[in-house]
């Protein structure tokens, strides 16, 4: 693609997008794709007109840009003969990709002192670039019907493989029937309610059932994650594993659990990352077949340099996370803090509106779960059957797009080992007034 054609390509995108305003763009055109300043200013106006549905023509563009654009508009007959809107946009996109590659080549020599770091940087940049230039495809009725017929035949032939990704908690699995490709789960709770430990029990179950896990842990570092997984697998006390305070007769169990972890397909990131960095790494692992499920712990700790963690900024991560899950066809689990408002209510069971930026999360989530720790008075005589180191927590199904919601399920949390077991349906009745309230 010769450089002397670039001005013509940029002008073609502007003119054809203006004169074919009823035709959708097959790829979102970025202002940064234009090198010619006049074409860039012209695109700014055309993009605004298209978005607003404003009727405009070549004369409109000459009116806002002046006579300089008039000479460009004279190219329209040649452009209309040479390009369609689709081919013009594709040609400009090729230029934009080449620009990015040239930028990398200029940057790479500055990174030679750290070859592995340079390789990682290139991989991240490439994943981001590929993600930004994914084609937008419409699925026809015929194509969908044919593909679904094939999928249905496969499911009927292999019913054991149709349930999706399970959690290892029978009552929750019976309700949800497994996570499917592209599903997004939000797990909310106030601090110290066991959110990370709860999800690590899922992680252990997923690893045991052969699913690769990519975990972005912004609260716990890698050795804390390792200690908890080893404690769950071995049944040893978490604190003993963390501190290395093991009795002689416990080393065998530790060794076996450590060997188990060593063989598992899990990748843990424990350094601050921005959402583009996270998305790039997810793409890398999916491309290598290493990601059966992604976990992000937690939403509020995703790095946003120089910015506050406002609800509006969280919303700018939630929807892209859903889009990425759907594009890559993998389940994504996102842990999120709940607002303090729940602590001021008589009924302590969290609700969907307790999520920070609850509107976006409710619209995005396939499944929204909430953890909280009921008091003995909330569960009647339930506490009487618990072992001393075990406490019940409730997993409240606050929203479920594909089935029943507002269901409370109990989980027995062994605070010693971190293991969590199914505790059945919750007896909590929010209509019962708490003592002293």
The torsion angles phi and psi of 244, rounded to 5 degrees, stand at 75, 25
**154 catalytically annotated:** no
Place of tokens 């059966």: 292
State the Cα–Cα distance between residues 374 and 351, nearest whole angstrom: 14
Tokens standing for residue 367: 């499944």
Contact 410, 365 (CB under 8 A): no
What burial class does residue 193 get, using C-beta atoms within 10 Å of its C-beta: 0-12 exposed, 13-18 middle, 19+ buried? buried
* Active-site hit among 26, 31, 154, 219: 219
Helix (H, G, I), strand (E, B) or coil at 436: coil
143: exposed, middle or buried (Cβ count in 10 Å: 0-12, 13-18, 19+): exposed
Taking a C-beta distance cutoff of 8 angstroms, is the pair 56, 42 a contact? no
* Cα distance between residue 415 and residue 238, in whole Å: 8
Which token pair is 3?
Answer: 């450089």
Question: How far is Cα 202 from Cα 295, in angstroms, rounded to an integer?
Answer: 10
Yes or no: say if 104 and 96 are a contact pair by the CB < 8 Å rule. Answer: no
3-state secondary structure of 302: coil
Residue 101 has, within 13 A of its CA and on its CB side, a CA count of 7
Short-list 26, 6, 28, CA closest to 99: 6
**What does each C-alpha distance from 433 to 348, 410, 436 come to in angstroms?**
11, 20, 9
Is 140 strand, coil or helix?
Answer: coil
Collect all residues with Cβ–Cβ distance below 8 Å to 336 and sequence separation of at least 6: 186, 187, 188, 298, 299, 300, 355, 356, 361
Q: What is the largest CA-CA distance in the chain?
A: 88
Closest CA to 399 of 425, 373, 367: 367
Alpha helices by DSSP H, 53-133: 58-65, 67-73, 76-82, 85-107, 115-132
- 277, 248 Cβ separation under 8 angstroms: no
CA distance 328 to 340: 34
Nearest to 80 by CA among 58, 53, 52: 58
For the annotated catalytic residues, the residue numbers are 219
């Amino acid at each position: 693609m010769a450089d002397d054609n670039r001005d013509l390509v940029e002008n073609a995108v502007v003119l054809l997008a203006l004169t074919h305003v009823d035709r959708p763009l097959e790829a979102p055109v970025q202002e940064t794709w234009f090198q010619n300043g006049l074409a860039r200013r012209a695109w700014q106006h055309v993009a605004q007109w298209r978005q607003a549905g404003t009727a405009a023509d070549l004369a409109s563009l000459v009116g806002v840009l002046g006579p300089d654009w008039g000479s460009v508009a004279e190219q329209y007959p040649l452009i209309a003969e040479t390009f369609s809107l689709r081919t013009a946009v594709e040609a400009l996109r090729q230029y934009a990709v080449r620009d990015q590659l040239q930028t990398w080549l200029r940057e790479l020599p500055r990174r030679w002192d750290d070859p592995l770091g340079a390789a990682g940087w290139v991989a991240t940049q490439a994943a981001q670039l590929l993600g930004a230039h994914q084609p937008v495809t419409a699925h026809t009725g015929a194509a969908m019907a044919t593909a679904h017929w094939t999928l249905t035949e496969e499911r009927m032939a292999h019913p054991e493989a149709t349930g999706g990704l399970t959690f290892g908690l029978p009552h929750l699995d019976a309700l949800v029937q497994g996570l499917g490709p592209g599903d997004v789960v939000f797990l909310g709770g106030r601090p110290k309610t066991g959110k990370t430990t709860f999800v690590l029990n899922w992680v252990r179950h997923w690893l045991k059932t052969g699913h690769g896990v990519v975990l972005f842990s912004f609260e716990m570092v890698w050795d804390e994650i390792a200690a908890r997984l080893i404690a769950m697998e071995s049944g040893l006390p978490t604190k003993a594993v963390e501190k290395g305070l093991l009795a002689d007769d416990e080393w065998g169990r530790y060794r076996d659990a450590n060997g188990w972890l060593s063989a598992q397909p899990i990748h843990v990131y424990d350094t601050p990352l921005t959402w583009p960095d996270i998305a790039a790494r997810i793409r890398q692992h999916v491309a290598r077949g290493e990601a059966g499920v992604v976990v992000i712990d937690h939403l509020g700790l995703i790095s946003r340099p120089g910015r506050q963690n406002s609800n509006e900024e969280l919303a700018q991560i939630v929807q892209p996370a859903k889009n990425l899950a759907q594009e890559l066809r993998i389940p994504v689990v996102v842990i999120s803090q709940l607002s303090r408002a729940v602590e001021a209510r008589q009924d302590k069971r969290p609700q969907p509106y307790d999520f920070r930026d609850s509107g976006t999360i409710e619209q995005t989530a396939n499944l929204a779960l909430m953890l909280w720790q009921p008091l003995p008075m909330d569960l009647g005589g339930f506490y009487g059957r618990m072992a001393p180191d075990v406490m019940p927590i409730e997993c409240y199904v606050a929203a479920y797009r594909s089935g029943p919601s507002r269901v409370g399920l109990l989980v027995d949390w062994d605070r010693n080992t971190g293991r969590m077991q199914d505790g059945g349906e919750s007896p909590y009745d929010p209509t019962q007034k708490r003592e002293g309230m």
